[in-house]
Amino acid sequence: MSVVLIIFCVLAAVTLATAFMTIFSKNPIHSALYLVVCFFSIAGHYLLLNSQFLAIVHVIVYSGAIMILFLFTIMLMNLNKEDEVHKPRITRLGAVVCFCLMCLVLIAIFINSKPIVGPYDATGEDYQSIKVLGKVLLNEYMVPFEFASILLLTAMIGTVLLSKKEKSQK
């Protein structure tokens, strides 16, 4: 068992455990904090795959921006109390059954498709440094890149419009 495999196993265990804790913890703030740990471990996976730029972007966007947004919303709504009622028992049972069946089916599919996966080639070619990524992003994917900025602008305007307080109410 090589060192890399051990690191991968530890990171995977952290990822899955914190993802489960996100769902099962009663307090929404605890959920958000577990989700931060989950995102950091996914960034660790990216680092393990040697895509450093993506790991940094992931930490900045997810662990930074999105989680701060979540925490602010939770605190804005004053939800940090643990009085949430559960779903009816039959629904929860259905969710557990659905989870198990979906895992079973997908994992069975990928185990059976394993012979298709060929050997891994390592040409030593640089394909994931910032230099190469920037070239691909700004040459081949120029138009989607610009559309992403329009999407973010639209999202910003929509958010401001939606969360503005209406004075005529009350």
Between residue 47 and residue 106, which ones bind another protein under the rule CB under 8 A?
48-51, 53-54, 57-58, 61-62, 65-66, 69-70, 73-74, 76-77, 79, 84-87, 91-92, 94-96, 98-99, 102-103, 106
Which residues from 3-22 bind another protein, rule CB under 8 A?
4-5, 8, 12, 15-16, 19-20, 22
Which residues from 145-164 bind another protein, rule CB under 8 A?
148, 151-152, 154-156, 158-159, 162-163
**What is the nearest approach in angstroms of another protein to the Cβ of residue 9?**
8
**What is the nearest approach in angstroms of another protein to the Cβ of residue 97?**
10
Residue from 10, 23, 75, 142 touching another protein (CB under 8 A): that is 23
Query: Total binding residues for another protein by CB under 8 A?
Result: 84
Q: Output the 3-class SS for the chain.
A: CCHHHHHHHHHHHHHHHHHHHHHHCCCHHHHHHHHHHHHHHHHHHHHHCCCHHHHHHHHHHHHHHHHHHHHHHHHHCCCCCCCCCCCCHHHHHHHHHHHHHHHHHHHHHHHHCHHHCCCCCCCCCCCCCHHHHHHHHHHCCHHHHHHHHHHHHHHHHHHHHHHCCCCCCC
